[in-house]
């Protein structure tokens, strides 16, 4: 079960060592940032979490796949791939069964070590079968006394993730080429944060992957209301009812999904999933999660955290400045660390604990920021967001698994601020920026619906360029060049880390990667600087570049390439099935370029050809330039704003024409 604010650990990964498709599934689920391909065991009594591997027979509710002997030799090497989930009394029990034929030494090496993972605070890992099938013989490894070894290995520590996952591992004894390795196991998940509510998310493999027998089944008591969906592009039959339970079933692989253009919005390129949950509305989900975060945001009078809020109040009476200061405190003085232990995937540390420990994940940092803002009298609340693929959330049934991140929503003077405590470099100039998450779910005791995160233009550039060239020595001689690049906000972190490393080689390499309108640069010097208060990093590169002037039909000219920056919108919708698919636009971003070039001969005989002043609007992009020529040099400024969003299919050609027109507005 993945936490908010981390690349997810999926309990589907617990089975990823047994078949190739399971490895594919694990990677796909990580990219999707969604988790609930859980595995579990149903017992007659409630699930008891534990750190020891259990060994028991197959649960009665499981429909066991019988191997068809005809498919063992002639079919694909993946013989059985079976995932079944039972929802019962607020617990999700999931069962996995796989059988794979070992066809060659490479497969023997890759399949010969099993690694099964689970979260011990939520359920037990139980082994049901561990068989080697060799011809007519079945070798029961568990009956022969072989057991898994349990280890704890925090693979995410380099990303500041402490997920609490245990790994059961075994080098399969006696496995040979030609054998069939069959493993079935399960895990029960009783999530501390969800109470009686449940959710299941199951990856659905598609062609051209092949399996002889593949299916997934989700079942629950017929009287318990559930929502379900499968997709995209998967038709799901209505649940069957038998023995007091409803059963949803899908055989796979399903047909290959239609290819989508790479520039389609992410909701058109979603991973194919079966999703089942007990939340009837987004309001229900909001209500269930809210108490955990409201309770954690309380500040005790006179505590160390209360004193920090008092310091901010004493420093300024301006609520906006107070909000910026509180955000900076959370971002800069509390390091990031995900603690997924003991329900930490969804349950936050309380604000006082986070301030004392000086570390926390997105939940902890959001709760800390919420506590500070409320102590300062600023209206605020925690909200769930999807850091990737967020434009699809509104189309999904309400599940916590739809989200992988948490931020804070604040209201001040009638303006909404979306503040991320886990990023860096938030200052007064960029705190009003809207992150590219599309939708947010506020967590409120009374419940809340999804809220669109309406974009607005950035008030300040992400990056500025100050480019100066001196070609006054002559049109056929090299010129002296200075490139000054300033990055603001979180993007300045790399420059800051390079400064802190004091690595001359890396500094020079950073400068050599800088390029501009004069082409290849022979670097003379590289200077780095970081401004803590402005959260800006600056790289100043000086060097020598070849002359940009060329003779053309008796005239000496240079193309001022910056004049048509940004004109590259060109989605292709040639396939008939693509004609109704919109095109996404990148953003939000803003860039400014200042440009100055000293000309040969004091500029005598030179003139500007083209439109020195221009404003173009196309595909959620605005480019404005102002150029002038006087006193032996030309100077100018280019501003480009790109907005997150999409272009309707009917408008793509119009926006392409506008982009093309902009790109032809050359200036010489």
| Reduced 3-state DSSP string for 131-192 | EEEECCEEEECCCCCCCCEEEECCCCHHHCEECCCEEEEEECCCCCCCCEEEEEEEEEECCC
Residue 448 in this model has a pLDDT that exceeds 90: yes
Q: What tokens does 398 get? A: 């309400």
pLDDT score recorded for residue 10? 30
Mean pLDDT of 489-497: 89
How far separated are the first and last CA of the chain, in Å rounded? 59
pLDDT score recorded for residue 337? 84
b/e code 618-649 from CB counts within 10 Å (16+ = b): bbbbbbebebebeeebbbbebbbbbbbbbbeb
pLDDT score recorded for residue 5? 65
H/E element holding 634? strand 633-642
Residue 666 binned pLDDT confidence (cut-offs 50, 70, 90): confident
pLDDT score recorded for residue 554? 85
**Residue pair 277/220 in contact by the 8 Å Cβ criterion:** no
Residue 561 in this model has a pLDDT that exceeds 70: no
CA-nearest of 189, 170, 79 to 133 is: 79
Residue 32 in this model has a pLDDT that exceeds 80: no
Please give the Cα distance from 353 to 129 (Å, whole number).
44
Residue 26 in this model has a pLDDT that exceeds 70: no
Indicate the SS3 state at residue 285: helix
For 504-544, give the DSSP string: HHHHHHHHHT--BTTBSEEEEEEEEEEETTTTEEEEEEEEE
Helix then strand then coil, in percent of the chain rounded to 5, is 25, 35, 45
- Give 292-301 pLDDT, tens digit per residue: 999 999 999 9
**Residue pair 184/55 in contact by the 8 Å Cβ criterion:** no
**Secondary structure E strands in 337-438:** 338-339, 359-360, 379-385, 405-412, 415-419
b/e code 532-545 from CB counts within 10 Å (16+ = b): eebbbbbbbbbbeb
Mean pLDDT of 445-473: 95
Long-range contacts of 352-361 (CB under 8 A, 24+ apart): 352/299, 352/300, 352/303, 352/304, 352/305, 355/304, 355/305, 355/308, 356/304, 358/333, 358/334, 359/334, 359/335, 360/334, 360/336, 361/3, 361/4, 361/5, 361/6, 361/336, 361/337, 361/422
pLDDT score recorded for residue 231? 86
Mean pLDDT of 518-543: 90
- Could you give the percent of the chain with pLDDT greater than 70? 88
Mean pLDDT of 96-112: 95
- Give 262-289 pLDDT, tens digit per residue: 999 999 999 999 999 999 999 999 999 9
Cα 598 to its chain centre, rounded Å, is: 46
Indicate the SS3 state at residue 444: coil
User: DSSP letter at 553?
Assistant: T
Residue 377 CA neighbour count, 13 Å, CB half: 10
* Average pLDDT, rounded, for the chain: 87
Sign of CA dihedral 53, 55, 56, 59: positive
pLDDT score recorded for residue 563? 54
Return left, alpha or beta for 566; rule: phi > 0 is left, psi -120 to 50 is alpha, else beta.
left
H/E element holding 295? helix 282-296
More confident residue, 410 or 545: 410
Residue 39 in this model has a pLDDT that exceeds 70: no
Residue 27 in this model has a pLDDT that exceeds 50: no
Please give the Cα distance from 340 to 14 (Å, whole number).
16
Please give the Cα distance from 644 to 80 (Å, whole number).
44
Please give the Cα distance from 614 to 593 (Å, whole number).
14
**Secondary structure E strands in 240-324:** 240-242, 245-251, 273-277
User: DSSP letter at 627?
Assistant: E
Mean pLDDT of 118-140: 93
pTM recorded for the entire structure: 0.87
**Residue pair 411/249 in contact by the 8 Å Cβ criterion:** no
**Residue pair 267/380 in contact by the 8 Å Cβ criterion:** no
- Give 580-622 pLDDT, tens digit per residue: 999 999 999 999 999 999 999 999 988 888 888 999 999 999 9
- Give 330-357 pLDDT, tens digit per residue: 999 999 987 655 555 789 999 999 999 9
Give me the helices (H) in 338-451, please: 351-357, 362-375
């Amino acid at each position: 079960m993945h936490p908010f604010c981390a690349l997810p650990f999926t309990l589907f990964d617990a089975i990823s060592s047994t078949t190739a498709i399971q490895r594919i599934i694990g990677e796909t689920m990580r990219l999707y940032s969604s988790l609930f391909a859980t595995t579990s065991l149903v017992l007659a009594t409630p699930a008891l979490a534990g750190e020891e591997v259990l060994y028991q027979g197959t649960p009665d509710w499981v429909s066991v796949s019988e191997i068809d002997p005809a498919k063992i030799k002639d079919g694909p090497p993946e013989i059985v791939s079976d995932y079944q989930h039972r929802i019962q009394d607020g617990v999700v029990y999931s069962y996995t069964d796989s059988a794979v034929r070992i066809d060659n030494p490479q497969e023997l090496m890759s399949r010969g070590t099993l690694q099964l993972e689970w979260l011990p605070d939520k359920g037990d890992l139980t082994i049901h079968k561990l068989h080697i099938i060799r011809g007519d013989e079945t070798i029961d490894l568990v009956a022969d006394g072989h057991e898994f070894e349990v280890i704890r290995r925090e693979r995410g520590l380099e990303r500041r993730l402490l997920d609490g996952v245990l790994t059961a591992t075994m080098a399969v004894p006696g496995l040979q080429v030609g054998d069939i390795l069959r493993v079935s196991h399960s895990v029960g998940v009783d999530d501390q944060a969800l109470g009686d509510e449940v959710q299941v998310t199951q990856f659905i493999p598609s062609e051209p992957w092949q399996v002889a027998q593949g299916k997934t089944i989700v079942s629950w008591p017929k009287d318990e209301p559930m929502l379900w969906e499968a997709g995209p592009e998967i038709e799901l039959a209505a649940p069957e009812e038998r023995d007091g339970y409803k059963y949803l079933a899908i055989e796979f692989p399903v047909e290959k999904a239609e290819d989508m253009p790479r520039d389609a919005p992410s909701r058109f390129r979603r991973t194919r999933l079966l999703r089942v949950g007990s939340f009837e509305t987004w309001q229900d989900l909001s209500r269930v999660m809210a108490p955990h975060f409201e309770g954690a945001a309380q500040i005790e009078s006179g505590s160390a955290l209360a004193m920090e809020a008092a310091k901010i109040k004493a420093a300024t009476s301006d609520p906006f400045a107070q909000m910026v200061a509180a955000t900076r405190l959370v971002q800069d003085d509390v390091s990031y660390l995900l603690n997924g232990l003991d329900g930490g995937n969804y349950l936050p540390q309380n604000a006082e604990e986070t301030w004392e420990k000086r570390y926390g994940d997105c939940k902890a940092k959001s709760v800390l920021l919420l506590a500070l803002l409320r102590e300062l009298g600023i209206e605020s609340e925690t909200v769930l967001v999807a850091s990737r693929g967020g434009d699809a959330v509104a189309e999904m049934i309400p599940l916590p698994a739809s989200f992988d991140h948490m931020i804070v929503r604040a209201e001040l003077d009638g303006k909404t601020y979306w503040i991320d405590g886990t990023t860096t470099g938030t200052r007064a100039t960029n705190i009003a920026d809207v992150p590219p998450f599309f939708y947010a779910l506020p967590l409120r005791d009374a419940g809340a619906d999804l809220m669109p995160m309406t974009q607005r233009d950035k008030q300040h550039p992400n990056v500025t360029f100050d480019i100066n060239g001196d070609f006054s020595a002559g049109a056929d001689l090299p010129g002296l060049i200075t490139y000054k690049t300033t990055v603001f906000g979180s993007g300045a972190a790399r420059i800051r880390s390079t400064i802190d490393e004091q690595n001359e080689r890396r500094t020079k390499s950073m400068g050599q990667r800088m390029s501009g309108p004069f082409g290849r640069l022979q670097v003379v010097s590289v200077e780095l600087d970081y401004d803590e208060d402005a959260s800006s990093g600056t790289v100043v590169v000086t060097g020598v570049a070849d002359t940009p002037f060329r003779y053309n039909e008796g005239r000496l000219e240079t193309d001022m390439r910056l004049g048509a920056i940004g004109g590259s919108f060109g989605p292709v919708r040639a396939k008939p099935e693509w004609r109704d698919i919109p095109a996404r636009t990148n953003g939000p971003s803003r860039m400014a370029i200042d440009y100055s070039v000293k000309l040969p001969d004091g500029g005598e005989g030179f003139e500007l050809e083209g439109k020195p002043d221009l404003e173009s609007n196309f595909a959620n992009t605005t480019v404005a330039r102002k150029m002038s020529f006087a006193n032996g040099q030309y100077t100018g400024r280019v501003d480009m704003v790109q907005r997150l969003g999409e272009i309707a299919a009917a408008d793509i050609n119009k926006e392409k024409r506008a982009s093309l027109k902009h790109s032809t507005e050359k200036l010489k």
